[in-house]
Structure 1
Amino acid sequence: MWEDPSHTSEDSRVDPASWAAQHSVPAGRIGPVGPGIAPEQWPRDPTTGMPMMHVITLWLPEHFRRRGPDLPGFALFQGAGEAFMPLPDNPDPADPFVIDLHHHRPHPQQILLTDILDLYFAAIWLTAEELTRIGSPPADRRRPGEHNHDGLPRHAWNHDDPPLLVRLTPRRHDPNAGIAPVERDATTDTPYLSTWGDGDHHDWANKLQWWNHLGGTIFPSQWIPDGLTPYYLDLIELPGMNIGTGTLQYDLESNVFDWACG
């Protein structure tokens, strides 16, 4: 995970991977272990009712804390997806899964996100205490043989990839640091530099590609979403995610959200 700062120092011009190993500190986690929110606040997929899969929890650098200093980070979750059957229109009121679903109370900082396929994701802005603590989804109260959404894509009850720490380090020598990414053409008036030249990526762009990062040069699988600001998160598919070996963008300022397959 790479931050894209607006200022870099000359003495840091080393291989990014070796610099990260020497200087980075844990700033978040991916995998099934979520932030310190109450089980009843864990995001639920509006279609299936299943608890969403935790993607990433991340402390943000100060200039990326776009909801103010009291919310220094956020968590991203992915819904169950199009492959699963929705809840019935008239669910059994005695169903323990349905009873538990009635106890769901969305976190006050939850933002429900939808993609072009009308599938659901959720972002939750978090306090320092919530970022520090560990949280778990609600207990699985499904009756045997019911609501068995246990294939792919993942949800909170079948996301069994090992938890991993995230390390946040400066992303060195990005010419687009602090600039909103936009598609360039002959009429575009922007300081944002395209990654392409002579039919291939520029050398400087090749050195930045294939890293999850905050801000700077974007590497979308298909196109740059409209409305991005300098304060966006760009994710290559993380363990358990279902974005078709693609990339995902979520803007911490404008709330623009998009992903695309390669």
Structure 2
Amino acid sequence: MTETIAWNLACRCGNGVGKAPGRTADAAIPNQPPSGWTGSLGPGVRWEQWPRSLNTGLPMMHVLTIWLPGDFQRRGLRAEGEHADESEGTNAWDIVEPTIDIWLIPRVDPNAGKAPVELWGDEVGPGGYVNPSTGGRSLAGWAEPLFALSHLGGTAFPVQAMPEGLTPWYLELEEISGLNFGGGGNAQIDLESDAFDWACG
């Protein structure tokens, strides 16, 4: 069995990469081609095929398109009418964001390949999931460099409670490319179970 890897999303910031567009670069641009992009430029579908808001009928806003590593390719395209958009109308016509390259960067994360669970104190979860907190509001030393980064898999940092139903194959997004989770919030989207949750900061 091969080892599962978790990934940070690193966005182009000038001549380097950082944790979100418009931020200060904290590393050099990787040597490999980008793994996707964020911004208004969509996933390369004709305008007639663009997903529409059920509330407004307008094209939904594009947040990111990303190539998923094999382990994270868990599900295919959705059946018509299977999911309903309950947004307040954010859409691709009214929200215009620049196109920014995204790279997937391996992250050293003891929880890679493990389903995130809510833990207290020194508890260890099923499958060996390790609590990133020291028991209070502070993070363990190993967890500090992983905090507040958009990433695939590994340690989850939900702003409020841990969402139910997360598998090891989830995407955690911080506020990038027009996303607004109430200031300092984030979202978890599971690529296998369809679990989805977000919370404001």
4+ residue runs over 6 A deviation:
none
1:56 CA drift (Å)? 0.7
Output the CA distance in 1 between the equivalents of 2:90 and 2:195: 23
Structure 2 counterpart of 1:256: 195
Note the aligned Cα RMSD (angstroms). 2.7
Structure 1 counterpart of 2:93: 157
1:244 CA drift (Å)? 1.2
With 199-208 and 236-245 compared, the bigger mean Cα shift is at 236-245
Output the CA distance in 1 between the equivalents of 2:200 and 2:84: 18
Among 160, 169, 181, the residue aligned to 2:105:
169
Output the CA distance in 2 between the equivalents of 1:239 and 1:211: 14
Structure 1 counterpart of 2:58: 50
Structure 1 counterpart of 2:142: 204
1:41 CA drift (Å)? 1.7
Query: TM-score, with normalisation over the residues of structure 2?
Result: 0.77
Maintained 8 Å contact 1:153/1:242: no
Among 185, 192, 196, the residue aligned to 2:129:
192
Is 1:178 the counterpart of 2:113? The answer is: yes
Among 38, 41, 54, the residue aligned to 2:46:
38
For 2:35, what is the secondary structure of its paired residue?
Answer: strand
Maintained 8 Å contact 1:153/1:240: no
- Residue segments in structure 2 that go unaligned for 5+ positions in a row: 7-18, 20-25
Query: TM-score, with normalisation over the residues of structure 1?
Result: 0.60
C-alpha distance 218-113 of structure 1, shift in aligned 2 (>3 A) = farther
For 1:53, what is the secondary structure of its paired residue?
Answer: coil
Deviations 1:211-231 (A, max 9, x none): 110000011111110000000
1:21 CA drift (Å)? 2.9
Output the CA distance in 2 between the equivalents of 1:62 and 1:109: 25
Structure 2 counterpart of 1:228: 166
Report the count of equivalent residues: 176
1:113 CA drift (Å)? 5.6
Is 1:112 the counterpart of 2:47? The answer is: no
- Larger radius of gyration between Structure 1 and Structure 2: 1
Among 230, 239, 245, the residue aligned to 2:177:
239
C-alpha distance 153-48 of structure 1, shift in aligned 2 (>3 A) = closer
C-alpha distance 189-237 of structure 1, shift in aligned 2 (>3 A) = closer
Structure 2 counterpart of 1:60: 68
* Identity level (%): 44
Output the CA distance in 1 between the equivalents of 2:100 and 2:146: 22
For 2:105, what is the secondary structure of its paired residue?
Answer: strand
Counting helix residues as a fraction of each chain, which structure ranks higher? 1
Structure 2 counterpart of 1:101: none
